[in-house]
């Protein structure tokens, strides 16, 4: 027996990458209303310091909290890596990041215990995935690698062909040599590059998509009644810079064409 | 007969790319003091709207004006493309961008009158180079192309080898086919990729580096006495995010290793 709660689920990201998380949530929970905030004026977070990322994350969360959300999903890996404690300390609703769900899903899949994680320089340098994995299963072997060119490749739409294939091969060669059997895609943009990543690693390596893993855990919260179930299906998108490329980028990242995103100054 | 003026020249950029402009200035004017501000917390500007870029540019300029500069060099192409009128309207000292110097240098070099310009999406979409070129010589033929992957490639240090070569070939193929004889490198990061750009276009195409062209025009202002000559050689770097990678990036972009940049919150 779970109570209902018509308030929306809030999702924020540094930009449009988090739309892959929103996509997983929309597909899984068609009866939940959702608000998405993309901090497109300050994107990317992945190359910024923990201090600056935390400051921006708190502002994003306060904006969504002001719109009466029942759950905050931090779709940005870099924010999840550095800002969760600060967010949990200040928000009155449950806060879910993408890192712990991704780490837990990877541990359920690996057979050899030799895992890889890829992400932005900020996420990898924070050591957050490495810590989350080691905390859940001490003694696990983790190989981490920052792949800074993957985000611009995904945003440019260069997700197949020679350039992304070569870039993936270059970045992933050390992970392949280390003999990983599972790879966490630790950045919301990376699912778009699944094809070339899988090709560079070979068929024996399983890819874990943090967006899907996070949607799984939202499901757990709804089933457990920690968060009440919704009864709508509304979606509202906010961005902090002009939403010029939104129709194109929403089609690519969300899988739905959104013509109107509301620009807000926060 | 020119008067002297010991105040520093101020230079700002969205990040570290403008260090290539600072490098050209330092090499040419060893007796000038300089202040550099890199807005590394908000980098990149190239994908942001004109409104947001203008807001950030005004803040950067106000910060440097507060440190008593005698001349402002806007080293960022995107800022130069959209924010110069606002900057000139509010600042009490001369303001020089990188676009007009680059455009004028290109017009001095071209023989065929068929020119190319490459830059960030923001710079190219603004049409600023295209306007500057057409204003100085009506009837000129201009082929413009945004190259969003060049900045992350330069920052990653991937400036030679298969990946940048393939990316350059892909971006520049239409310019090569259009038969340009001169190409403006309309982004401060691009001089680092000169090798692969030259290779993709062939030896008949001349490359114009806006950083060098801008240093030429600063020389003109100093010679004309519009700006008094300095008598020091000081250099101070400010950044808006933690200056973690400064030793590495200053070596690559400035050609001098700077260990200490001062972090400021503006």
**Cα–Cα separations (whole angstroms), residue B213 to B105, B129, B236:** 6, 14, 23
Nearest one of B195, B185, B187, B183 to B159, comparing CA atoms: B195
Give the pairing of strands A182-185 and A114-119: parallel
> Maximum Cα–Cα distance for chain A, whole Å?
53
The one catalytic residue among A35, A187, A192, A218: A187
What is the CA B256 to chain-centroid distance, rounded? 18
CB contact at 8 A, A111 and A222: no
Q: Cα–Cα distance between B241 and B244 in angstroms, integer?
A: 9
- What is the least distance, in Å, from the CA of B46 to any CA of chain A? 11
* Mean per-residue pLDDT of chain A: 94
State yes or no: pLDDT of B150 exceeds 70.
yes
Task: Give which of B38, B48, B248 to mutate to test A binding, by max A Cβ within 10 Å.
Answer: B48
Share of chain A above pLDDT 90, in %: 84
What digits encode the pLDDT tens for the residues B179-235? Answer: 999 999 999 999 999 999 999 999 999 999 999 999 999 999 999 999 999 998 899
- Beta strand residue intervals within A58-105, DSSP E: 71-74, 95-96
Q: In the structure, what pLDDT confidence band is assigned to residue B2 with cuts at 50, 70 and 90?
A: low
Instruction: Tell me whether domains A9-97+212-263 and A99-210 share a fold.
Output: yes
State yes or no: pLDDT of B111 exceeds 50.
yes
Q: Cα–Cα distance between A111 and B179 in angstroms, integer?
A: 56
Instruction: Give domain limits for chain A.
Output: 9-97+212-263, 99-210
Task: List phi, psi (to 5°) of B89.
Answer: -75, -25
Q: Cα–Cα distance between B103 and A193 in angstroms, integer?
A: 38
- What is the least distance, in Å, from the CA of A159 to any CA of chain B? 13
What digits encode the pLDDT tens for the residues B95-107? Answer: 999 999 999 999 9
Nearest one of B187, B262, B242, B150 to B20, comparing CA atoms: B187
CB contact at 8 A, B231 and B31: yes
List CB contacts of A163: < 8 A, sequence separation 6 or more: A153, B149, B163, B166, B167, B170
Residue A181, chain B, CB below 8 Å: the answer is no
Q: What is the mean pLDDT of residues A40-65?
A: 91
Round the CA-based radius of gyration of chain B to a whole number and report it.
Answer: 18
Bridge partners of residue B235, in order along the sequence: B34
Q: Which residues of A touch B42 (CB under 8 A)?
A: 41-42
Q: Cα–Cα distance between B236 and B226 in angstroms, integer?
A: 24
Q: What is the mean pLDDT of residues B66-71?
A: 98
Cβ neighbours around A133 below 10 Å, total: 25
Q: What is the mean pLDDT of residues A217-241?
A: 94
Q: In the structure, what pLDDT confidence band is assigned to residue B3 with cuts at 50, 70 and 90?
A: confident
Q: Which residues of B touch A156 (CB under 8 A)?
A: 148-149
* Mean per-residue pLDDT of chain B: 94
- Beta strand residue intervals within A50-165, DSSP E: 71-74, 95-96, 114-119, 141-146
State yes or no: pLDDT of A47 exceeds 80.
no
**Is residue B236 classed as helix, strand or coil in its secondary structure?**
strand
Determine, for residues B163 and A170 on separate chains, whether the beta-carbon distance falls below 8 Å: yes
The torsion angle over the Cα atoms of residues A54, A60, A66 and A67, rounded to 10 degrees, is -140
> For position A44, what pLDDT does the model report?
83
- CATH architecture observed for domain A9-97+212-263: 3-Layer(aba) Sandwich (3.40)
> For position B1, what pLDDT does the model report?
46
Query: Where would I find the H helices in chain B?
Result: 19-28, 50-65, 77-82, 84-90, 99-109, 121-126, 128-136, 150-156, 162-177, 194-201, 210-224, 246-253
Determine, for residues B167 and A163 on separate chains, whether the beta-carbon distance falls below 8 Å: yes
Q: Cα–Cα distance between B35 and B27 in angstroms, integer?
A: 15
The one catalytic residue among A24, A76, A185, A211: A76
Q: In the structure, what pLDDT confidence band is assigned to residue A46 with cuts at 50, 70 and 90?
A: confident
Q: What is the mean pLDDT of residues B46-65?
A: 92
Q: Cα–Cα distance between A97 and A108 in angstroms, integer?
A: 18
Q: What is the ipTM of this complex?
A: 0.80
Q: In the structure, what pLDDT confidence band is assigned to residue B17 with cuts at 50, 70 and 90?
A: very high
CB contact at 8 A, B64 and B32: no
Task: Give which of B162, B169, B264 to mutate to test A binding, by max A Cβ within 10 Å.
Answer: B162
Q: Cα–Cα distance between B234 and A234 in angstroms, integer?
A: 58
State yes or no: pLDDT of A213 exceeds 90.
yes
Bridge partners of residue B36, in order along the sequence: B11, B237
Q: Is the four-CA dihedral A207, A209, A215, A220 of positive or negative sign?
A: positive
CATH number of A99-210: 3.40.50.1860
| pTM summary value | 0.85
Q: In the structure, what pLDDT confidence band is assigned to residue A121 with cuts at 50, 70 and 90?
A: confident
Q: Which residues of B touch A155 (CB under 8 A)?
A: 148
CB contact at 8 A, A58 and A131: no
CB contact at 8 A, B105 and B176: no
Nearest one of A266, A219, A259, A214 to A237, comparing CA atoms: A259
Determine, for residues A47 and B42 on separate chains, whether the beta-carbon distance falls below 8 Å: no
Q: Cα–Cα distance between A158 and A163 in angstroms, integer?
A: 8
What digits encode the pLDDT tens for the residues B247-265? Answer: 989 999 999 999 889 999 9
- Could you list the active site residues of B? 76, 187
**Cα–Cα separations (whole angstroms), residue B77 to A86, A262, B44, B135, B165:** 36, 28, 11, 18, 23
Q: In the structure, what pLDDT confidence band is assigned to residue A245 with cuts at 50, 70 and 90?
A: confident
> For position B125, what pLDDT does the model report?
87
State yes or no: pLDDT of A2 exceeds 70.
no
């Amino acid at each position: 027996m779970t109570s209902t709660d018509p308030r929306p689920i809030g999702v924020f990201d540094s930009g449009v990458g988090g739309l892959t998380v929103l996509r997983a949530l929309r597909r899984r929970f068609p009866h939940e209303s959702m608000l998405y905030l993309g901090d497109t004026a300050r994107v990317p977070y992945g190359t910024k310091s923990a201090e600056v990322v935390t400051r921006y994350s708190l502002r994003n969360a306060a904006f969504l909290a002001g719109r009466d959300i029942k759950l905050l999903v931090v779709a940005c890996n870099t924010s999840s890596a550095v800002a969760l404690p600060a967010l949990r300390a200040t928000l009155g609703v449950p806060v879910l990041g993408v890192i712990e769900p991704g780490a837990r899903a990877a541990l359920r899949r690996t057979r050899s215990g030799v895992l890889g994680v890829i992400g932005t320089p900020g996420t990898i340098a924070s050591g957050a995935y490495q810590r989350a994995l080691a905390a859940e299963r001490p003694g696990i072997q983790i190989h981490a690698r920052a792949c800074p060119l993957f985000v611009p490749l995904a945003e440019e739409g260069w997700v197949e062909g020679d350039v992304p294939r070569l870039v993936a091969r270059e970045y992933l060669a050390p992970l392949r040599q280390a003999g990983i059997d599972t790879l966490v895609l630790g950045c919301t943009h990376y699912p778009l590059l699944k094809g070339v990543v899988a090709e560079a690693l070979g068929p024996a390596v399983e890819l874990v998509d943090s967006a899907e893993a996070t949607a799984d855990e939202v499901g757990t919260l709804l089933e457990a009644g920690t968060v009440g179930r919704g009864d709508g299906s509304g979606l509202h998108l906010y961005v902090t810079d002009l939403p010029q490329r939104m129709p194109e980028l929403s089609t690519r990242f969300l899988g739905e064409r959104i013509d109107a995103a509301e620009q807000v100054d926060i």
